[in-house]
C-alpha cells in the first residue's frame, strides 16, 4: 500500500499548483490509492503558543481532527503524547505501532481506538531546512509500519515537502515580480502611476485617438505650493493630500481618469475624446472641487493649482512633446495667476536660449572644455573602491561649471549627443592609459544616452579608441537607463550584447524609474542594477520603499545580478543597504565626484585602510 500511495502521490505533486489543494489531494491519494484508514497533514504555527493546525485530511475520521483544537508542539503535557508534536519538535518520524499499548498516548488512546485505528505514523515535512508540520497516517490493523513500509513513506513525505517548497518558491517569485513591476510603474509614496507609466499610457491613447480620428487632451496639474505644504505638514500629511487630490481629479467630469505623478509637484492625466471645451470643463470642475477645502488630520489646506492643457493632434503627436507642452502651459498659468492655460506655441523653454546653449556646447566640445569627474563605487563586502563612474562637466570660459543635467538633454535633443559620448569615451580611455602606466586598475563606467544605443557607429568608434590607446575593454563599463533600453529593445539588445561580448560590464541605471519589463532584463547580459536615488531617499520615510528596495535586491540576486545603490547620503542609509545585502553603494556620503588624481588616492586609501 505504501508503494501505491507513493507512485500516485508523485503524480499528484506534479499536477497541483496551489498548496492547500496539494495537501488535500495528497491525503486523498494516500487513503484512496494506498488504502490507509485515514491521512492528515498538520502544520506547526510559528508563534508563542506553538499551536498545530490540521490543514487537510482524508478518510472517515468521525470528527477526530475537528476535535483536536488544543494540540501544541510545545514540550509540555499536551505536546508530549502527540506524535505530530514529537515530529515537529524533533524533525524525525514518530511511529506508534500499537495504539492500545502505547503509554504516551493516554490523552488520545480512547478516541483513536473508538474509530478503529490501531497504528499510526507521522512523518516530518521539511521545507527550506525547517520542519513545517507532519503527514500522519492511520491504519486499522495493529503492528503496521515495518521498516520497508516506513522507508517508502519517508520518501512520500519527502516528495510532499518538495512539492510544497516548489509551490512556495513560485509564489515568492511571483510576488517579487509583482512588487517590482509595481515599483517600476508607480510613485511609491503617493502610490500613483509614475512618469514612465504615463508616457507609455499616453502613447497608447494617442494611437487610439489617431485611428479613431478623435482629438485627445493632456491635462497637466502643477501645484506650486506643494513644497511648502510638505514643509509645513510633514510627509504623512503631504502624501495624504496628494492622494486626495488625485482621487478628486480622477473623478472630475464623472469620468474615471488615471492620474499619474510626473514630477514632485506635477501630475498629469490623459483625456481621450476631448477637445478644447471638454478639457476646459474638466479643469474648471476640478478647480471647483478644490474650493471645498482639503481637510487632513489637523488642518485645512489652501492648495493653489495651475492647469496646463495640450492637444493631440494640434500640439504634437508624441507623448513626450504633448506632456512637455502641457507642462509649459501649466507653469505659464501659475506665473500669471490663472487657474488654467492652453499651450501657446513655442515659449521660452523651446526658445532661442536653448538653441544658443546648443551652439555654445558645440564650441565647448571643439575647444575641449568638457572634462570628467569620477565618483567611486564602494563594494560593501570588500569595503574597497572597485570601480568609478565618469560624470561629465563643462567649464565655461568664465570659469563657471555647467552640470550635465543642463546640457546633456540639449545634446540629446540636437543630436550632438553622439559626438559628446565619443568625447567622453575618449577621455575615459585616455585616462585608463595613464592609470595603466601608473599601475592603477580602476574600471570607469560611462553613461550612455538613448540615442547612443541606436547609433550604429558607436561600437566601431569604441573599438578604435581601445586599439589606439591600448586599453583592455574590461576597463570601460557602461550605464544605460531602463527607459533608453525600452525605446527600441531589439536594437538596444544587439549593442548591449556586443559590448558585453567584448568584456565590458553593463549597469542598468536609475532602476525603478522607467518602465522596464522584468522579462526583458532576464534576457540581457547585465552585470548590475543601480537602484535609483529616489528609492534610497524614500527608504527613511516609507516602509514601502524599503520593502521595494529589499525585494529588488533579492530579485536581482535571483537573476544573478549585482545591486548598487546610488545617492547614499548618510550612515543610516548605508547601514540599511548593507543589511539588505546590497552589493555596492555610491553617493555623497561615500565620496563626491572628484578629479582623476583624487579618485585614485581615495581608492588607494580604502585599500590600505
Ligand atoms: P546619473 O547617471 O544618475 O549620475 C548620478 C548623479 O547623481 C550625478 O550627478 C552625481 O553627482 C549625483 N550624485 C551622486 N551621489 C549623490 C548623492 O549622494 N546625492 C545627490 N543628491 N546626488 C548624488 P551629475 O554629475 O550632475 O549627473 C547628472 C546626470 O547627468 C547623470 O545621472 C547622467 O544621467 C547624466 N550624465 C552625466 N555624465 C554623463 C555623460 O557623460 N553622458 C551622458 N549621456 N549622461 C551623463
Ligand atoms: Ca549613471
Ligand atoms: Ca543614476
- Given a cut of 50, whether residue 230 has pLDDT beyond it is yes
What average pLDDT score do residues 339-367 get?
Answer: 79
Atom 21 in ligand 1: residue holding the nearest Cα? 567
Instruction: Please state, rounded to an integer, the average pLDDT across all residues of the chain.
Output: 88
For residue 313, cis peptide bond before it (omega within 30 degrees of 0): yes
263 vs 123: which has the higher pLDDT: 123
Estimate to the nearest angstrom the gap between the alpha carbon of 508 and the chain centroid: 13
Cα 498 to middle of ligand 2, angstroms: 20
Atom of ligand 1 minimally distant from the CA of 446: 41
587 pocket-lining for ligand 1 (C-beta < 6 Å): yes
- Tell me the domain boundaries of the chain: 2-178, 195-348, 352-514+592-608
**CB-based contacts of 385: which residues, under 8 Å, 6+ apart?**
376, 377, 378, 379, 442, 599, 602, 603, 606, 607
**Percent of the chain residues topping a pLDDT of 90:** 52
What average pLDDT score do residues 331-338 get?
Answer: 84
Atom 35 in ligand 1: residue holding the nearest Cα? 404
Cα 443 to middle of ligand 2, angstroms: 14
Atom 8 in ligand 1: residue holding the nearest Cα? 391
Residue 110 CB neighbours (<10 A): 10
> Do residues 99 and 118 touch, judged by C-beta distance below 8 A?
yes
pLDDT-wise least confident of 55-59, 109-113, 168-172, 235-239: 235-239
444 pocket-lining for ligand 1 (C-beta < 6 Å): no
Atom of ligand 1 minimally distant from the CA of 586: 15
Strand pairing category for 528-531 and 506-511: parallel
- Given a cut of 70, whether residue 518 has pLDDT beyond it is no
Atom of ligand 1 minimally distant from the CA of 372: 41
Return the CATH superfamily for domain 2-178. Answer: GAF domain (3.30.450.40)
- Given a cut of 90, whether residue 134 has pLDDT beyond it is yes
Position 260 scores a pLDDT of 92
**CB-based contacts of 243: which residues, under 8 Å, 6+ apart?**
190, 191, 192
Position 348 scores a pLDDT of 46
Strand pairing category for 266-272 and 216-222: antiparallel
Cα-only R_g, the chain: 32
> Do residues 302 and 336 touch, judged by C-beta distance below 8 A?
no
424 pocket-lining for ligand 1 (C-beta < 6 Å): yes
> From the CA of 510, which ligand is nearest?
3
Cα 101 to middle of ligand 1, angstroms: 77
pLDDT band at 18 (very low <50, low <70, confident <90, very high): very high
The position carrying cell 572597485 is 386
Query: Which DSSP string corresponds to 376-394?
Result: EEEETTTTEEEEEEEEEEE
- Given a cut of 70, whether residue 286 has pLDDT beyond it is yes
Position 445 scores a pLDDT of 98
Length of the chain: 609
593 pocket-lining for ligand 1 (C-beta < 6 Å): yes
The cell numbers describing 418, all together, are 553622439
Position 421 scores a pLDDT of 97
User: Distance between CA atoms of 522 and 382, rounded to whole angstroms?
Assistant: 27
Position 269 scores a pLDDT of 92
Position 36 scores a pLDDT of 94
> From the CA of 478, which ligand is nearest?
2
> Do residues 251 and 329 touch, judged by C-beta distance below 8 A?
no
588 pocket-lining for ligand 1 (C-beta < 6 Å): yes
The cell numbers describing 36, all together, are 490507509
What average pLDDT score do residues 119-138 get?
Answer: 95
Atom of ligand 1 minimally distant from the CA of 568: 18
- Given a cut of 80, whether residue 349 has pLDDT beyond it is no
User: Distance between CA atoms of 82 and 52, rounded to whole angstroms?
Assistant: 11
Ligand 1 pocket test: pick from 365, 447, 477 the residue with the most ligand atoms within 8 Å of its Cβ.
447
> From the CA of 408, which ligand is nearest?
1
User: Distance between CA atoms of 120 and 124, rounded to whole angstroms?
Assistant: 14
pLDDT band at 609 (very low <50, low <70, confident <90, very high): very low
pLDDT band at 317 (very low <50, low <70, confident <90, very high): confident
Ligand 1 pocket test: pick from 391, 428, 454, 577 the residue with the most ligand atoms within 8 Å of its Cβ.
391
- Given a cut of 90, whether residue 451 has pLDDT beyond it is no
Position 67 scores a pLDDT of 85
Using the Cα atoms of residue 306, residue 311, residue 314 and residue 320 in order, give the sign of their dihedral.
positive
122 pocket-lining for ligand 1 (C-beta < 6 Å): no
404 pocket-lining for ligand 1 (C-beta < 6 Å): yes
**CB-based contacts of 403: which residues, under 8 Å, 6+ apart?**
393
Cα 9 to middle of ligand 2, angstroms: 53
pLDDT band at 350 (very low <50, low <70, confident <90, very high): low
pLDDT band at 198 (very low <50, low <70, confident <90, very high): very high
What average pLDDT score do residues 38-54 get?
Answer: 90
- Given a cut of 60, whether residue 92 has pLDDT beyond it is yes
Query: Which DSSP string corresponds to 2-46?
Result: HHHHHHHHHHHHHH--SHHHHHHHHHHHHHHTT--SEEEEEEE--
The position carrying cell 555623497 is 588
The position carrying cell 477526530 is 64
391 pocket-lining for ligand 1 (C-beta < 6 Å): yes
- Given a cut of 60, whether residue 297 has pLDDT beyond it is no
- Given a cut of 70, whether residue 255 has pLDDT beyond it is no
> From the CA of 377, which ligand is nearest?
1
Position 35 scores a pLDDT of 92
376 pocket-lining for ligand 1 (C-beta < 6 Å): no
**CB-based contacts of 440: which residues, under 8 Å, 6+ apart?**
600, 603
How distant, in Å, are the alpha carbons of 21, 116, 170, 433 from that of 163? 11, 31, 11, 56
Distance between start and end Cα atoms, the chain: 67
pLDDT band at 78 (very low <50, low <70, confident <90, very high): low
The pLDDT tens digits for 399-429 are: 999 999 989 988 987 778 999 999 999 999 9
Cα 572 to middle of ligand 1, angstroms: 22
Which fold, 352-514+592-608? Answer: TIM Barrel (3.20.20)
Position 346 scores a pLDDT of 58
Position 264 scores a pLDDT of 84
The pLDDT tens digits for 462-516 are: 999 999 999 999 999 999 988 788 767 778 888 999 999 999 999 999 887 765 5
pLDDT band at 299 (very low <50, low <70, confident <90, very high): low
Please choose, from the candidates 85, 69, 99, the residue with its C-alpha nearest in 3D space to the C-alpha of residue 131: 85
H helix intervals, 91-146: 109-114
User: Distance between CA atoms of 49 and 44, rounded to whole angstroms?
Assistant: 10
Instruction: Give the CA dihedral 533, 528, 442, 449, nearest 10 degrees.
Output: -70
How distant, in Å, are the alpha carbons of 194, 269, 276, 337 from that of 305? 19, 14, 19, 9
User: Distance between CA atoms of 115 and 568, rounded to whole angstroms?
Assistant: 66
What average pLDDT score do residues 383-397 get?
Answer: 96
**CB-based contacts of 496: which residues, under 8 Å, 6+ apart?**
453, 480, 485, 506, 524, 525, 526
**CB-based contacts of 231: which residues, under 8 Å, 6+ apart?**
none
> Do residues 538 and 532 touch, judged by C-beta distance below 8 A?
no
Cα 405 to middle of ligand 3, angstroms: 12
pLDDT band at 277 (very low <50, low <70, confident <90, very high): confident
Cα 415 to middle of ligand 3, angstroms: 22
405 pocket-lining for ligand 1 (C-beta < 6 Å): yes
- Given a cut of 90, whether residue 302 has pLDDT beyond it is no
177 pocket-lining for ligand 1 (C-beta < 6 Å): no
Query: Which DSSP string corresponds to 433-482?
Result: HHHHHTT----EEEEE-HHHHT-TTHHHHHHHHHHHHT--GGGEEEEEEH
Atom of ligand 1 minimally distant from the CA of 403: 26
> Do residues 472 and 503 touch, judged by C-beta distance below 8 A?
yes
pLDDT-wise least confident of 6-15, 280-289, 416-425: 280-289
Cα 349 to middle of ligand 2, angstroms: 25
User: Distance between CA atoms of 563 and 391, rounded to whole angstroms?
Assistant: 20
Cα 135 to middle of ligand 3, angstroms: 51
> Could you name the CATH architecture of 195-348?
2-Layer Sandwich (3.30)
7 vs 123: which has the higher pLDDT: 123
509 pocket-lining for ligand 1 (C-beta < 6 Å): yes
What average pLDDT score do residues 286-314 get?
Answer: 73
Cα 84 to middle of ligand 1, angstroms: 59
Neighbours of ion ligand 2 (CB under 5 A): 447, 479, 509
Position 206 scores a pLDDT of 94
Cα 531 to middle of ligand 3, angstroms: 8
What average pLDDT score do residues 328-332 get?
Answer: 90
Cα 64 to middle of ligand 3, angstroms: 61
Cα 532 to middle of ligand 3, angstroms: 6
The position carrying cell 487610439 is 208
The cell numbers describing 323, all together, are 506632456
- Given a cut of 80, whether residue 296 has pLDDT beyond it is no
pLDDT band at 607 (very low <50, low <70, confident <90, very high): low
**CB-based contacts of 199: which residues, under 8 Å, 6+ apart?**
319, 320, 323, 515
Amino acid at each position: 500500500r505504501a508503494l501505491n500511495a507513493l507512485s500516485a502521490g508523485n503524480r499528484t505533486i506534479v499536477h497541483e499548483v496551489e498548496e492547500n489543494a496539494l495537501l488535500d489531494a495528497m491525503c486523498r491519494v494516500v487513503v484512496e490509492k494506498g488504502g490507509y484508514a485515514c491521512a492528515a497533514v498538520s502544520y506547526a504555527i510559528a508563534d508563542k503558543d506553538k499551536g498545530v493546525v490540521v490543514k487537510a485530511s482524508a478518510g472517515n475520521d468521525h470528527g477526530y481532527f475537528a476535535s483536536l483544537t488544543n494540540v501544541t508542539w510545545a514540550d509540555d503535557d499536551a505536546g508530549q503524547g502527540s506524535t505530530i508534536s514529537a515530529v515537529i519538535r524533533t524533525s524525525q518520524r514518530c511511529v506508534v505501532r500499537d495504539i492500545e499499548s502505547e503509554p504516551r498516548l493516554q490523552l488520545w488512546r480512547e478516541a483513536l481506538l473508538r474509530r478503529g485505528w490501531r497504528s499510526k505514523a507521522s512523518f516530518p515535512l521539511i521545507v527550506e531546512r525547517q520542519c513545517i508540520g507532519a503527514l500522519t497516517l492511520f491504519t486499522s490493523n495493529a503492528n503496521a509500519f515495518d521498516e520497508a513500509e516506513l522507508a517508502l513513506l519517508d520518501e512520500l513525505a519527502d516528495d510532499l515537502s518538495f512539492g510544497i517548497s516548489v509551490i512556495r518558491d513560485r509564489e515568492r517569485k511571483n510576488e517579487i515580480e509583482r512588487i517590482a513591476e509595481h515599483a517600476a510603474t508607480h510613485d511609491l509614496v503617493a502610490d500613483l502611476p509614475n512618469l514612465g507609466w504615463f508616457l507609455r499610457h499616453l502613447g497608447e491613447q494617442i494611437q487610439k485617438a489617431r485611428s479613431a480620428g478623435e482629438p485627445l487632451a493632456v491635462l497637466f496639474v502643477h501645484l506650486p505650493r506643494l513644497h511648502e505644504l510638505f514643509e509645513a505638514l510633514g510627509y504623512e500629511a503631504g502624501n495624504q493630500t496628494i492622494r486626495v487630490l488625485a482621487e478628486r481629479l480622477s473623478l472630475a467630469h464623472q469620468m474615471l481618469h488615471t492620474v499619474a505623478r510626473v514630477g514632485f509637484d506635477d501630475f498629469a492625466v490623459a483625456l481621450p475624446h476631448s477637445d478644447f471645451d471638454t478639457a476646459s470643463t474638466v479643469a474648471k470642475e476640478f478647480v471647483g472641487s478644490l474650493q471645498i477645502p482639503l481637510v487632513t488630520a489637523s488642518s485645512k489646506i489652501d492648495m493653489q493649482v495651475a492647469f496646463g492643457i495640450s492637444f493631440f493632434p494640434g500640439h504634437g503627436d508624441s507623448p513626450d512633446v504633448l506632456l512637455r507642452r502641457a507642462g509649459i502651459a501649466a507653469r505659464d498659468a501659475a506665473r500669471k495667476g490663472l487657474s488654467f492655460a492652453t499651450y501657446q506655441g513655442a515659449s521660452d523653454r523651446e526658445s532661442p536660449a536653448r538653441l544658443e546653449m546648443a551652439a555654445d556646447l558645440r564650441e565647448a566640445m571643439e575647444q575641449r572644455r568638457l572634462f570628467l569627474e569620477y565618483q567611486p563605487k564602494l563594494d560593501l563586502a570588500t569595503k574597497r573602491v572597485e570601480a568609478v563612474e565618469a560624470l561629465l562637466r563643462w567649464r565655461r570660459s568664465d570659469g563657471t561649471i555647467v552640470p550635465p543635467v543642463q546640457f546633456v538633454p540639449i545634446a540629446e535633443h540636437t543630436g550632438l549627443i553622439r559626438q559628446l559620448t565619443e568625447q567622453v569615451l575618449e577621455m575615459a580611455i585616455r585616462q585608463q592609459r595613464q592609470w595603466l602606466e601608473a599601475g592603477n586598475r580602476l574600471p570607469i563606467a560611462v553613461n550612455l544616452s538613448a540615442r547612443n544605443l541606436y547609433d550604429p557607429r558607436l561600437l566601431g568608434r569604441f573599438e578604435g579608441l581601445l586599439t589606439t590607446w591600448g586599453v583592455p575593454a574590461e576597463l570601460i563599463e557602461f550605464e544605460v537607463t531602463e527607459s533608453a533600453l525600452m525605446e527600441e529593445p531589439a536594437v538596444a539588445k544587439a549593442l548591449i550584447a556586443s559590448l558585453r561580448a567584448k568584456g565590458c560590464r553593463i549597469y542598468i541605471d536609475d532602476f525603478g524609474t522607467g518602465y522596464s519589463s522584468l522579462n526583458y532584463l532576464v534576457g540581457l547580459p547585465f552585470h548590475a542594477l543601480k537602484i535609483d536615488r529616489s528609492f534610497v531617499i524614500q527608504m527613511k520615510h516609507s516602509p514601502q520603499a524599503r520593502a521595494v528596495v529589499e525585494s529588488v535586491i533579492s530579485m536581482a540576486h535571483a537573476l544573478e545580478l549585482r545591486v548598487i545603490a546610488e545617492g547614499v547620503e548618510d550612515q543610516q542609509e548605508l547601514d540599511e543597504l548593507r543589511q539588505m545585502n546590497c552589493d555596492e553603494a555610491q553617493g555623497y556620503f561615500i565620496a563626491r565626484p572628484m578629479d582623476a588624481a583624487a579618485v585614485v588616492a581615495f581608492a588607494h586609501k580604502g585599500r590600505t585602510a
